Amino acid sequence: MSSTTTGLIFIVSLLVALVAVYRPFGDYMYRVFTSARHWRVERGMYRLVGVDPDGEQSWGVYARSVLAFSAVSVLFLYGFQRLQNHLWLSLGFPSVEPGQAWNTAVSFVTNTNWQSYSGESTMGHLVQMAGLAVQNFVSAAVGIGVAVALVRGFTRSRTDQLGNFWVDLVRICLRILLPVAVVGAVVFIAGGMVQNLSAGQDVHTLAGAAQHITGGPVASQEIIKEFGTNGGGFYNANSAHPFENPTSWTNWLQIFLILAVGFSLPRAFGRVVRDNRQGVAIAVVMAVLAIGSVLTVNALEVAHHGTVPQAVGAATEGTETRFGVPQSATFASATTLTSTGAVDSFHDSYTALGGAVPLANMMLGEVAPGGTGSGLYGILVLAVITVFVAGLMVGRTPEYLGKKISAREVKFASLYFLTTPTLVLVGAAAAMSSASTRASMLNTGPHGLSEVLYAYTSAGNNNGSAFAGLGVNTPWYNTTLGLVMLLGRFLPIVFVLGLAGSLARQNPTPASAGTLGTHQPLFVGMVVGVVLILIALTYLPALALGPLAEGL
């Protein structure tokens, strides 16, 4: 079979697997979010934290808890990196520089996992496993928690109670993320991933040269890197590194894990709002966008337009032999459709248009299916905007899931939508306006602009993948990208929680003959259309100067 054919089977097999887990995994998550029972170990943890697990929070308190937890996390992670040379398992690495430590701390707390550092030459094992990997769990849990709070907002009436952040955080970590991580890590080790605390081993190769075979607790970090849509690699080469992704089937499994939570959360959403069709509609919107994107990258990379790919005869630069071009392209698409940002091939060397698709995926706001939790709240905000647009067309107050979408709700949704493009475009423009920051580009011409645009798009949308030629370990990029990640994560979260609070206060509105059926194909098509049109209007000028100028 040709690799194009096997690449298509690869995509279909992922689709089948995701459809298969949609119900059971979604139902399981629904029970986690709604169960009234606490596990005994959870009760112990609530005592240690000092919170009442049965007390609920208003949207403001929920938001402040998220912000407090994240602020403490940033400070903790910053200090951890700065002091790593005094701690165990530092492998002799010095303290991480302040700018880079700030950037990395923010990056992991915001679920971005942008890496201005190179893992194998910067971070000791203790910082990786007890600092960075912890955020892989908790930042994913924060995202899911916020999404659940929004869904509660849709289902509750005349209340300001949206759940308890600490309970959501602990349960999601203990009941969803950890069990999968434990099982998955063992599977990954069986596939060839390393899991040790060794500083590595010096060997003499067959040709007589010295080679340092690195060690580390890789498998335990790798699994949550994908399942929590984090993406920060243990090593610089990320999932292209044979120790992080040893075989073609671990590659499949990684893509599946990246997409699993995002595609199954709509089922949990449907269960909570007591209408499974609403969940299916949201999942179908995600699937339409995702399938379109995956097929487009595959087609463009297989067609390999561009001078160098034509000279080579294939778009193999930056890809691994064991994965091949099409299955690397599928990974590239999945990692940018979510907030993951792990890479198994290097997007900077993709064909001009093939590399534009991952960029556009992120610009969509990562909603197909998006990061853990952030994908669901992102698409629900877009659904709110869609019913608003639909309401304008027919001159009727829009409703969604029995709630009126009035001025207050639309304001929150609009603020949510405007935040990221503002950060991305202002950030990229600022970086392009100075010769010293332009000097960080590896490639020249439009491709250089693409590198900068990609960096700010990735940071603003909390993705973390890169056109990695850009040299970003400079004070300017460490500082500004850190700020963009921080604002790109927490401003939208505050707006989402505000929206949730405002929805929860309302009385339910009974559906009438004029209510837009938000479970029907018409609505699915409208959401897809609204997403594509809004994004195109926002980003087309920037894209035209970068990848489109290079590829057309």
Partner 1 sequence: MRLPAWLAQHLAALRALLVLTVLTGIVYPLVLVGVAQLPGLKHHADGSLITTAGGRTVGSAIIGQSFTDTRGRPLAQYFQSRPSAAGSGYDPTATGASNLGPESVVDVLPNPQVAGDRGKPSLLTQVCSRSRAVGELEGVDGRRPFCTTGGVGAVLAVFHHDGLTGPVTRVVSLDEACPARPFLARYQGVEVECARPGADYSRGVVTPIRGDAPAHPVVPADAVTASGSGLDPQISPAYASVQAARVARVRGASVDAVRRMIEAHTSGRALGFLGEPAVNVLELNLALDSRYPFRG
Q: How crowded is residue 158: how many other Cβ atoms within 10 Å of its Cβ?
A: 9
Nearer to partner 1, 12 or 536 (CB): 12
Site for partner 1 in 500-529 (CB under 8 A): none
Q: Binding partner 1 by CB under 8 A: which of 107, 116, 164, 327?
A: 327
Contact between 183 and partner 1 per CB under 8 A: no
Nearer to partner 1, 122 or 480 (CB): 122
Contact between 160 and partner 1 per CB under 8 A: no
Contact between 3 and partner 1 per CB under 8 A: yes
Q: Binding partner 1 by CB under 8 A: which of 204, 274, 435, 510?
A: 204
Q: Binding partner 1 by CB under 8 A: which of 147, 257, 352, 534?
A: 352
Sign, Cα dihedral of 345, 346, 352, 358: positive
Spatial separation of the C-alpha atoms in residues 347 and 453, rounded to whole Å: 13
Sign, Cα dihedral of 126, 128, 131, 136: negative
Q: Binding partner 1 by CB under 8 A: which of 189, 287, 405, 486?
A: 189
Q: Are 31 and 131 in contact (CB under 8 A)?
A: no
Contact between 16 and partner 1 per CB under 8 A: no
Q: Report, in Å, the least distance between residue 276 CB and partner 1.
A: 32
All residues at 6 or more sequence positions from 512 whose CB lies less than 8 Å from its CB, including other chains: none
Q: Report, in Å, the least distance between residue 344 CB and partner 1.
A: 7
Q: Are 370 and 378 in contact (CB under 8 A)?
A: yes
Choose the stretch contacting partner 1; rule: CB under 8 A; options: 92-100, 153-161, 235-243, 366-374: 235-243
Nearer to partner 1, 36 or 209 (CB): 209
Sign, Cα dihedral of 355, 231, 111, 229: positive
Q: Are 490 and 123 in contact (CB under 8 A)?
A: no
Q: How crowded is residue 477: how many other Cβ atoms within 10 Å of its Cβ?
A: 25
Q: Binding partner 1 by CB under 8 A: which of 318, 406, 432, 474?
A: 318
Alpha carbon distances (Å) from 361 to 357, 369, 461: 6, 10, 10
Contact between 313 and partner 1 per CB under 8 A: yes
Nearer to partner 1, 357 or 516 (CB): 357
Q: Binding partner 1 by CB under 8 A: which of 24, 445, 514, 529?
A: 445
Nearer to partner 1, 310 or 520 (CB): 310
Nearer to partner 1, 185 or 383 (CB): 185
For residue 210, the surrounding DSSP H or E stretch is strand 210-213
Buried b vs exposed e over 276-292: b needs ≥16 C-beta within 10 Å?
Answer: bebbbbbbbbbbbbbee
- The closest alpha carbon to 294, from 250, 228, 373, 360, belongs to 360
Q: Report, in Å, the least distance between residue 231 CB and partner 1.
A: 15
Q: Binding partner 1 by CB under 8 A: which of 162, 379, 468, 486?
A: 468
Contact between 4 and partner 1 per CB under 8 A: no
Place of tokens 């929206």: 499
> For partner 1, what does the binding mask look like between residues 29 and 58, x meaning CB under 8 A?
----------------x--xxxx-------
Choose the stretch contacting partner 1; rule: CB under 8 A; options: 92-100, 179-187, 289-297, 456-464: 179-187
Spatial separation of the C-alpha atoms in residues 359 and 381, rounded to whole Å: 21
Phi-psi region of 302 (alpha: psi -120 to 50; beta: other; left: phi over 0): alpha
Contact between 1 and partner 1 per CB under 8 A: yes
Choose the stretch contacting partner 1; rule: CB under 8 A; options: 192-200, 260-268, 378-386, 398-406: 192-200
Alpha carbon distances (Å) from 534 to 16, 112, 243: 30, 23, 40
Alpha carbon distances (Å) from 68 to 15, 47, 62, 490: 38, 18, 10, 11
Q: Binding partner 1 by CB under 8 A: which of 62, 227, 235, 400?
A: 235
Nearer to partner 1, 242 or 525 (CB): 242
**Farthest CA pair distance, the chain:** 79
Q: Report, in Å, the least distance between residue 392 CB and partner 1.
A: 40
Spatial separation of the C-alpha atoms in residues 409 and 415, rounded to whole Å: 10
Site for partner 1 in 414-443 (CB under 8 A): 442-443
Q: Binding partner 1 by CB under 8 A: which of 248, 276, 473, 515?
A: 248
Contact between 172 and partner 1 per CB under 8 A: no
All residues at 6 or more sequence positions from 56 whose CB lies less than 8 Å from its CB, including other chains: 161, 162, 163, 164
Q: Binding partner 1 by CB under 8 A: which of 138, 149, 259, 379?
A: 138
Contact between 20 and partner 1 per CB under 8 A: no
Contact between 15 and partner 1 per CB under 8 A: no
Q: Are 522 and 324 in contact (CB under 8 A)?
A: no
All residues at 6 or more sequence positions from 400 whose CB lies less than 8 Å from its CB, including other chains: 154, 383, 384, 387, 518
Q: Report, in Å, the least distance between residue 80 CB and partner 1.
A: 9
Q: Binding partner 1 by CB under 8 A: which of 111, 113, 230, 251?
A: 251
- The closest alpha carbon to 496, from 172, 162, 168, belongs to 162
The encoded tokens of residue 483 equal 């700020």
Choose the stretch contacting partner 1; rule: CB under 8 A; options: 23-31, 411-419, 466-474, 480-488: 466-474
Site for partner 1 in 61-100 (CB under 8 A): 64-65, 68-69, 71-73, 76
Contact between 276 and partner 1 per CB under 8 A: no
Contact between 190 and partner 1 per CB under 8 A: yes
Q: Binding partner 1 by CB under 8 A: which of 247, 276, 414, 474?
A: 247
Choose the stretch contacting partner 1; rule: CB under 8 A; options: 32-40, 343-351, 387-395, 413-421: 343-351
Count of residues binding partner 1 (CB under 8 A)? 124
